[in-house]
Amino acid sequence: MRIRVRILSVLALLGMVAVLSGCDLYVALGDSYTSGPAILPQDPAIPGCLRSQVNYPHLVARDLHQLSLVDVSCSGAQTKDMTSSQDVNPDPDPAPQFDALGANAKVVTLGIGGNDLGFVDIAETCVRLATQSPLATSPCKDYYVANGVITSRLATLQTRLDGVLDGIAARAPAAKVFVVGYPDILPEDPAYYLQCRPVVPVATGDIPYLRDRVEKQLNSVLKNRAAAHGAFYVDTYTASIGHDACQIPGVRWVEPVAPAADAAPVHPNRLGMEATAARVQASMQAHGVPIG
């Protein structure tokens, strides 16, 4: 049964691309920061991907009147899922994201890397260590600096991104490629550190470490690899400063551990998707993609 639903998902994607084969395409690749888990309405085609119909690719596509959107982003995706079927629950599993690429892809957005780095594992570890040692200043930083895991994962990610960007260029040679960074998750202003603990339960001293040595380093890798491959990096972080997960509802663009809006924990909400779409559109327009 599982083999059958995988085949059906591949055929569904191939059928969709075949229908659009005469059209120029905007193809959206990526993980949950692209797909928009829990933001309603969700796409019922591949329910395990938790793909919102108002995520930033859909918002951007509204103004790309000359291009048809093919959004194959999927929650939990890693770089390896560009070329292999991702195991999701419930079935069907999606086809490899690269199957959506072709000669008629004129614009591609790529939002990937957080799961390769281990966002979920890092978050769970930091919360656990803060709970176990409530008086410790920076137990998560101490743990990861000692074992060097994050440094190693960042180095590995660089190589994986090179492969992904080469793969896009080979499959969609006419496409302008936009690599989309991750928004601000934790506050820049130390004045907001204390109000984080109830909603993002990590040690206060770990906030600057997770912000500067994890997320900003991830964005730096994305920016550098994009430049090395002739792609355009979209900075979503700068505009999102002051809209982190520790802010109040209506101000934050990323939800905390217990969301107060239809978004997954520690993921962009509707405001975050709208803000990301605005940055992506601005970058596209600056690099010759007709908007409006």
Residue 2 has pLDDT above 60, yes or no: no
What does the angle CA 68 – CA 74 – CA 77 come to, to the nearest 5 degrees?
Answer: 130
> In this structure, are residues 69 and 57 in contact, taking their beta carbons and an 8 Å threshold?
yes
Whole-number percent of the chain with pLDDT over 90: 91
Residue 13 has pLDDT above 80, yes or no: no
Residue 4 has pLDDT above 50, yes or no: no
Residue 9 has pLDDT above 80, yes or no: no
Q: Is the CA virtual torsion 208, 214, 215, 219 positive or negative?
A: positive
Residue 15 has pLDDT above 50, yes or no: no
Residue ranges and CATH numbers for the domains of the chain are 2-114+157-192+231-286 (3.40.50.1110)
Residue 52 has pLDDT above 90, yes or no: yes
Marked catalytic residue, from 9, 52, 240, 267:
267
pTM for this model (two decimals): 0.93
CA–CA dist 81, 181 (Å, integer) = 18
Q: Which residues of 16-52 are buried (b: 16+ CB within 10 A; e: fewer)?
A: ebeebeeebbbbbbbbbbbbbbbbeebbeebebbbbb
pLDDT in tens, 215-243: 999 999 999 999 999 999 999 999 999 99
The reply to whether 65 belongs to the active site is no
The reply to whether 267 belongs to the active site is yes
Mean pLDDT across 132-139: 95
Q: For residue 16, what pLDDT band results from cuts at 50, 70 and 90?
A: low
Q: What pLDDT is attached to residue 48?
A: 97
Q: What pLDDT is attached to residue 65?
A: 86
Which helix (H) or strand (E) segment holds residue 178: the answer is strand 176-180
Q: What pLDDT is attached to residue 21?
A: 58
Marked catalytic residue, from 32, 52, 73, 138:
32
CA–CA dist 275, 45 (Å, integer) = 26
Tell me the backbone φ, ψ of residue 14, rounded to 5 degrees.
-60, -35
